[in-house]
């Protein structure tokens, strides 16, 4: 199995110690949902997000970003026998060929820019390859899905700056007005790193059919999110069939070359059968049985690989 996962919050969870013992901070082995040591031998490229909580703005946001980045670097260095940061898909393939996991650094929340366009260059320097413009609330770039207005002037200026820096604009977490503004401004393909289908599960964090079709028509990418609340409206007993319904619906919309995975590990409650990264192997087997190996391989690897090439 080759696995390319577009989103997890493990860096933030380990660095901030969310629901973990104080000394449980190693990316190699931990009690979080994702650990390098539990995926040894798998061919794996993982996007690691620096998640920006909505309470940090300006200087505090910059400090928070830099602290998280230092932690990410430290973990890459401590565990360099197991993982290596990469900038694109061919680099990921080369690292995987050496028996290591490939790590792509991303940012969840444009507040990491602190309203300063110059900080796009800092993110580029750090090797950040994708950034959601907002989280759920409002920031300098625009408003997330908790409100309904779109981008600010600064947010509109950020899109070409990201494209110039080779950083993918990630439209997950935006509200609909924001999505369509980004769609109108973007010259390069967009990614919704961890969002499901709103037709299957009515939630503002999920993509409408028109939004998904836009991604499909513009060489974009959309990662299936394992969060129970985005998979099913009744989040109590989420089964494989719930997840498969999102995949089926997206495939009906022409998503064979668009669909990928965006687990949201360590950022969301996931079903027990998908409670941590090693369960992804079981998901692969079930997806192959349901959708066939060719399509499953595209969802697990091929589409994201092409996009990040
Ligand atoms: Zn998220």
C-alpha of residue 173 to centroid of ligand 1, in Å: 7
Taking the centre of ligand 1 as the mean of its atom positions, its distance from the CA of residue 254, in whole angstroms, is 25
Q: Which two tokens stand for residue 13?
A: 């969870």
How far does the centroid of ligand 1 lie from the alpha carbon of residue 175, in Å? 13
pLDDT confidence of residue 114: 97
**CA 8–ligand 1 middle distance (angstroms):** 8
CA–CA separation, 304 and 106 (whole Å): 14
CA of 138 relative to ligand 1 center, distance in Å:
14
pLDDT number for residue 304: 98
Q: Can you tell me the distance from the alpha carbon of 286 to that of 276, in angstroms, rounded to the nearest whole number?
A: 16
Q: What is the pLDDT of residue 197?
A: 98
Quick one: which of 116, 136, 138 has its CA closest to 65? Answer: 116
Give 98 Cα–ligand 1 centroid separation in angstroms: 31
CA of 225 to the centre of ligand 1 (A): 9
Ligand 1 centroid distance, CA of 218 (Å)? 23
The answer to whether the beta carbons of residues 112 and 124 sit under 8 Å apart is no
User: Ligand 1 centre from 194 Cα, in Å?
Assistant: 7
CA of 10 to the centre of ligand 1 (A): 12
Tokens of 172: 């997950």
> Structure pTM?
0.97
Cα 112 to chain centroid distance, Å, stands at 16
Tokens of residue 272, six digits: 């027990």
pLDDT of residue 21: 85
CA of 222 to the centre of ligand 1 (A): 13
Separation between Cα atoms, residue 49 and residue 68, nearest integer Å: 10
Q: Give every CB contact of residue 94 below 8 A, 6+ residues apart in sequence.
A: 86
Instruction: Give mean pLDDT in consecutive 10-residue pieces for the chain, a chain of 309 residues.
Output: 98 91 90 95 96 95 98 98 97 97 98 98 98 97 95 98 98 98 98 98 98 98 98 93 98 98 97 96 98 98 98
- Which stretches of 17-58 are DSSP H helices? none
Burial of 283 (0-12, 13-18, 19+ CB in 10 A): buried
Going from the Cα of 113 to the center of ligand 1, the distance in angstroms, rounded, reads 17
Distance 146 CA to ligand 1 centre (A): 13
Per-residue confidence (pLDDT) for residue 265, from 0 to 100: 98
Question: Ligand 1 mean position to 9 CA, how many Å?
Answer: 8
- The structure tokens 């369960």 sit at 279
How big is the chain by its Cα radius of gyration, in Å? Answer: 18
Alpha carbon of 34 to ligand 1 centroid (Å): 16
Strands (E) across 109-246 are located at: 128-132, 168-170, 191-192, 221-224
Measured CA to CA, the distance from residue 260 to residue 297 in angstroms comes to 9
Q: List, as one string, the DSSP characters of 258-293.
A: TEEE---BTTS---GGGSSGGGHHHHHHHHHHHH-H
User: For residue 117, what are its two tokens?
Assistant: 């366009």
pLDDT in tens, 86-131: 999 999 999 999 999 999 999 999 999 999 999 999 999 999 999 9
Q: How far apart are CA 163 and CA 256, in angstroms?
A: 25
**pLDDT at 49 (0 to 100):** 98
């Amino acid at each position: 199995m080759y696995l390319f996962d577009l989103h997890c919050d493990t860096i933030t969870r380990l660095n901030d110690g969310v629901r973990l013992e104080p000394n449980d901070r190693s990316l190699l082995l931990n009690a979080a949902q994702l650990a390098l040591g539990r995926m040894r031998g798998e061919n794996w490229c993982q996007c690691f997000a620096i998640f920006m909580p909505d309470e940090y703005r300006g200087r505090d946001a910059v400090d928070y970003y830099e602290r998280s980045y230092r932690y990410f670097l430290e973990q890459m260095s401590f565990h360099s026998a197991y993982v290596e940061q990469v900038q694109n898909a061919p680099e990921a393939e080369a690292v995987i060929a050496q028996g290591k996991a490939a790590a792509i650094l991303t940012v969840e929340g444009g507040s990491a820019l602190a309203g300063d366009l110059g900080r796009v260059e800092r993110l580029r320097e750090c090797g950040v390859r994708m950034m959601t413009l907002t989280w759920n609330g409002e920031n300098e770039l625009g408003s997330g899905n908790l409100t309904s207005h779109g981008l600010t002037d600064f947010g509109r200026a950020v899109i070409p700056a990201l494209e110039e820096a080779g950083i993918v604009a990630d439209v997950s977490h935006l509200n609909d007005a924001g999505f369509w503004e980004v769609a109108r401004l973007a010259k390069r393909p967009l990614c919704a790193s961890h969002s499901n289908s709103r037709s299957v599960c009515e939630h503002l964090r999920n993509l409408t059919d028109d939004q998904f079709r836009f991604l499909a028509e513009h060489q974009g990418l959309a990662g299936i999110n394992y969060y129970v609340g985005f998979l099913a409206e009744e989040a109590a007993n989420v089964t494989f069939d719930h997840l498969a319904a999102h995949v089926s619906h997206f495939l009906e919309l022409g998503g064979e070359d668009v669909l990928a995975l965006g687990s949201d590990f360590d950022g969301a409650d996931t079903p027990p059968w998908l409670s941590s990264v090693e369960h992804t192997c079981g998901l692969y087997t079930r997806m192959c049985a349901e959708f066939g190996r060719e399509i499953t391989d595209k969802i697990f690897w091929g589409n994201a690989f092409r996009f990040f090439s």
